[in-house]
Structures are given as C-alpha cells and as structure tokens.
A and B are shown apart, each in its own frame.
Chain A
Amino acid sequence: MSAALPGGRFEDEMDLALHLLDRQVQDAEGALVGKVDDVELTRAADGALVVSGLLLGANALLPRLWRRGHELWVAAAPQRPGQHVPDRIDLALVERLDSGVRLRTRRAGSAPPARALDPERLRLALLLGSPVTYEGEPAGRVIDVRARPEGERGLVVRELVVGRGGPGSMLGYDRKADMGPWAIATVVRLLHRGSWVVDIGQCAIDWTHGSVAARGPRRPLSQDRERRDSRGPGKRVQPGED
C-alpha cells in the first residue's frame, strides 16, 4: 500500500457511489464532521481521474438533491464568489474508510472551502447519473464509478458501471455473489440484468452537459460478481482505541 493512500476500503478496488459517497465522516477523536456529500476528482496530466478529496456541506449536497434549487441559491447572492463552493477535506487527511470515513485530525478547521475555480477538479456527482451512449445509441446511465489504488498515483478512476436506475441502485448486490436475502438479490439482479462495465479510457465524458459516450469492448456486470469475493473493509477501529 502506498503511503499516500488511506487505509481500510481504500486499499482495494471500490465503487465510489456504493462505498464512499454519503458515508459519515468522523474526526480522529470520533466527533462527527459531516457526510461525504460529494467526491472531488482531479484530472491528472495524462487525463486520468484521481480521487483527491471529499466535498461536504449544502453546496455539495443540494446539487444532488435538486440542481435547480442550487442554481437559485447561487443566484440569490451573485456577488459572493464562494456562494457555490462546498467544503473540502483533502484525501491526505483521511486515515481510513470502513463503514465510515475517519480523519487523521480533529474536526476543527479540517474542511476549508474548496478552490472556487479549477477546471481540473471535477465532482463525482456530475458523472453519476449521466446518460450514456454506447456506439452512438442511448444505453442507460452511470450507476457507479470504480476506482483502484495505483501506488503513488493514488486512487484512480478506472471503470464506469452503466445501467438502468439511479446511482447505487445495485444496493451492493453486484459486489458479492451470495448476499441475501434471495428474493431481494434476485429482483435487483433481474432489474440490472442489462447493466455493463466499461473502461473509462473508452469513454468521452462531456462534463458541461453531463453525458458520456462509450465505445469499444464492454462486459456484463453479472460477470464481475462471479469472479470477485469482497474482502470487506476489515475490522472496525473505534476512534481513540488503536
């Protein structure tokens, strides 16, 4: 594991919507900081998207709940340059991710406002739920985004999961073959029988309008389930215990 990456879930391939988004953030002493309302992705020199920070607060959550509402909120005070800016926790401050995110520091001052204008920093929520075309034909929406730890580069986005329904609507049933109860697993898999996975290198992402054009080889999501055995996030450490 790279020293740059936090522990727990971050040591393994993860689905950003399922495993990181909306998780509770706790500081080093166990005090509650907020939710992971959005995730900041930074475009590296070679175009790869790297997870660089957590975005918190109403300015990260409101666009996900009701985009128009957020636009009105920003328009309500156009003189403020920071009106649309969420709070940001740098990934370097994160100690580990299990059922929640735990920081290395105390919460006071841990989440300064994100930089207002930076074309290389993107929001995960813009990508999640975007309509996808495959070889020019409409083919569903982005329901999850897969990232892998790659040494010094950090956590790099590698694949998109595309299908019907909203982000995270697989409810985790794609990660483990024998997760029960049988009836729910069957229904969820039936609804997502047409879902597929594509390498992000084969996708052209339009960040302004929020759409993705994919081409080239893709594989059904159901294949992944069979070959993967999730190891889980490991033992939970109570803050102040280790």
Chain B
Amino acid sequence: MKRFFAVALGILTAIGGFVDIGDLVTNAQVGARFGLAIAPVVVLGVIGICLFAEMSGRVAAVSGRATFDLVRERLGPRIGLLNLAGSMGVTFLTFIAEIGGVALSLQLVTSVHELLWVPFVALAVWLLLWRAKFSAIENVLGLLGLSLIVFAVALWQLGPDWGELAHQAVTVDKPASESWATWCYYGVALFGAAMTPYEVFFFSSGGVEERWTAKDLGVMRANVFIGFPLGGLLSLAIAGSAAVVLQPHGIAVDTLGETALPVAEALGKIGVAIAVLGFVAATFGAACETGLSVGYSFAQYVGEQWGKYVRPQAAVAFHTVLLLITLAAAGVLLTGVDPIVVTEVSVVFSAVALPLTYFPILVIANDPDYVGEHVNGRLTNLLGTVYLVLILVAAVAAIPLMVVTGMGQ
C-alpha cells in the first residue's frame, strides 16, 4: 500500500511538474491563434520527453550517473563545456521566466505590480533551495500544480464542438490568416516547451538524489509514461480552451491573465482562483527545478559535490551557484523585461539546446558499461533515432524561423 502511494505520488507530481510557464504561455498563445491545428506537435513533444526522460532516468537508476556526468564523460571536457554553457544558458533563461511567471501570477491575485513581487519571489525560491527538503519541494508544489486541471474542467464546461476540435488537430491545417512560417515557428516553440531540457536534468539528478537503483525502474517508468502524458493532456486543455474562447474573438495572448480568461468564462471567479493557484504552484515548482538544474549541471561538469541530500555546507560550490543565479535572475527581471517575452525566447532556445544533451544520453542508454542488461531495446532505438533527427531539425530551424517570423508576428 505504501508502495502504491509512492507510485501515485510520483505520477501526480509528474503531472503537476510537467506544466511550467513555457507550457502555459505557448499553449495558450497557439490555441488562441491556431486552434488545435498545431496540437500534434504537443503529442510529438510529449512522446519525445517520455523517451528522453525514460532513457536518462534508466541510466541514472542503473549507473548512478546524472545527465552532465554523462555529457562530459562521453563528449570530453571541451565539447562538454560548450554543451554546459548552452544548456545552463537556456535553463537560466527558463529560470528567469519561471520567477517572472510567479510574480505575474501573484500580480493577478493582488494587483500589486509584478516588479514589486520579483525580489520576494526570488528570496522565497532561494530559501526553498537552501532549506527545504528535496521531496517537499517536489511533492507539495507538484500536487498544488494539479489545480491546473481546472483548464480541462473549463474546456469540458465550455462544451465545445469536439468533432471540430478533433478535426483541427488531425488535419494539420492552419487558419487562413496565418502563414506556414509562423505555424512552423510555433510548432518549434511547442516542441521546445514540451521537451524543455531542464526537465531531464532535474529528473535524472533527482533520481540520483533519491538513490534510485535498478529496482526503481518500474516506478520511474510509471512516473514518466503516465505522469508526462497526463501533463501533456493538461497542455492540450489549455490550448483547447484558448481555441474555444479566445480564437473566435481574435484575442492574442500577451499576458498571463489572458491565459486564464477561458477559465473565467467557463467557471467564473472560483475557477480563476484555482487556475491562479495552479499558475503559482507550477511556476514556483518549475523555478525551483530550473534553479536546481543550473546548479546540478555546473557541479556535475566540474565534479563538485551537489544535491539536496547533503547539508549546504558540504556542497558549497553548488549552493553558491544557486545563490548567484537567483540574484542574477532577479536582477534581469528588475530591468523591467517582460517575463512573457523571456518565456517565448526560452522555449525556442530550449529546442536549440536539446540535441546537446539528447545525443549523449541516447548513446549511453545503449552502452552496457553503464546500463548493463538495461540497454535500449529495438523499439526505443528506432524511436530514439527518429527523434534525434526531429530534434536536430527543430534545433537548426528554430533561430531562422524566429528571425523570419519576427518571433511569430
């Protein structure tokens, strides 16, 4: 029974933890502009993140090595360093976006301007990273993040023409007002939002923190294969409700408040309250995860002690990085930059940085020196190769598309 609860808890936190500021904003934007026409990309991204997370979780469980250990071991210190700079940069960008997202959510509740919230949010994030137990961060915020299910309820309450939505999703078409370039740009953004690299850094490093072994593979797979797809359904519900409420009126999503509009229309104040609670929990949780991921990546590259399983005094470099990036993120946000723009940039650059870590993980998940008998099967390798190509195409196309479409204008 205890084991059942552990599995259930893992799945629930994986659902809540899947959605972050990138998913909230991108899905709502895309839903409002394209309906569900780009929805297949979300499905593609969710399958990709399952594949990627399962491989790195398996390597972490069997060999005890987290992502950036492997990057450096397999690619050497030079390419590893470029890789570290790219991945840390993107994760830091996401970290800024998440902290900004928390501030924006609090602004929705309090009407106090987000810039005033930023220092307090940054302080709270840092205190959690410094003091709180790893499992507490993951479980409490993950479970609260589940309140985003209100988007699925809202979509159901709105009673849309399900056949029409399904038709949009299946036919891969676009509204006449949009060009295929913007379709592709938002496709890459959705892909990046679903397959954000930090999710994998956090997942595998968390596995090492919690001392997974080969015995935990079943639980790990349950988290990945049930939790992430359900998280993906939440993403689709956000896109779907935006498609039903916002698209007919031509409302574009430029603020977090507009993301919550469909919930307001369907469920009123109570719904909005629950949605905003979900926003705060999801972005706060993701802020902790991205912050930790930056520290994990750095410490794993240089071999310093990392992790929440030791006292901060025993992992000095790791906690110094956490402190510095929290200060830096608050500093960037206090310049007045729009967190939504940071979010849009971060999901696109996530797609750019993805091959850097995906490739070494794919190789090592095949290496019996690390995973023994648990090497990739034929199906995983077939999918893994297809996704390697997809990820490379998305990475190469991302920046040109961003330039050509003027960030989706």
Contacts and interface: CB of A to CB of B under 8 A. Distances in A.
Q: Do A and B come from one complex?
A: yes
A172 B306 CA distance: 27
Given A32-B304, A99-B369, A232-B368, A181 B65 contact: no
Given A23-B73, A64-B77, A181-B384, A31 B366 contact: no
B113 interface: no
Given A167-B76, A184-B385, 12 more contacts: A22-B73, A32-B299, A32-B305, A34-B303, A65-B81, A100-B64, A100-B65, A172-B363, A176-B367, A180-B376, A180-B378, A183-B388
Interface of B: 62-65, 69, 72-81, 211, 213, 299-300, 302-306, 310, 314, 362-363, 366-370, 372, 375-376, 378, 381-382, 384-385, 388
A230 B64 contact: no
B370 A181 contact: no
Nearest to A181: B381
Nearest to A169: B76
Given A31-B314, A65-B78, A230-B369, A171 B363 contact: yes
Given A34-B304, A35-B302, A181-B381, A238 B64 contact: yes
Contacts of B300: 24
Interface bracket on A: 35 or more
A114 interface: no
Contact of A34 (B74, B302, B382): B302
A236 interface: yes
9 contacts: A24-B69, A31-B314, A61-B77, A99-B63, A167-B76, A180-B375, A181-B388, A230-B368, A238-B213
B72 A179 contact: no
Contacts of B81: 65
A19 interface: yes
Contacts of B385: 181-184
A172 B310 contact: no
A51 interface: no
Contact of A171 (B74, B306, B375, B384): B74
A194 interface: no
Interface of A: 9, 17, 19, 22-25, 31-35, 37, 56, 61, 64-65, 98-100, 166-168, 171-172, 175-176, 179-184, 230, 232-233, 235-236, 238
Contacts of B363: 171-172, 184
Contacts of B77: 22, 37, 61, 64-65
B260 to A, nearest CB: 43
Contact of B366 (A33, A34, A180): A180
A151 B291 CA distance: 48
Nearest to A9: B369
A51 B370 CA distance: 23
A236 B63 CA distance: 7
A166 B74 CA distance: 11
Nearest to B304: A32
A222 B282 CA distance: 51
A176 B371 CA distance: 14
A145 B158 CA distance: 66
A140 B62 CA distance: 36
Contacts of B63: 98-99, 236
A180 B224 CA distance: 23
A182 B74 contact: no
B367 A179 contact: yes
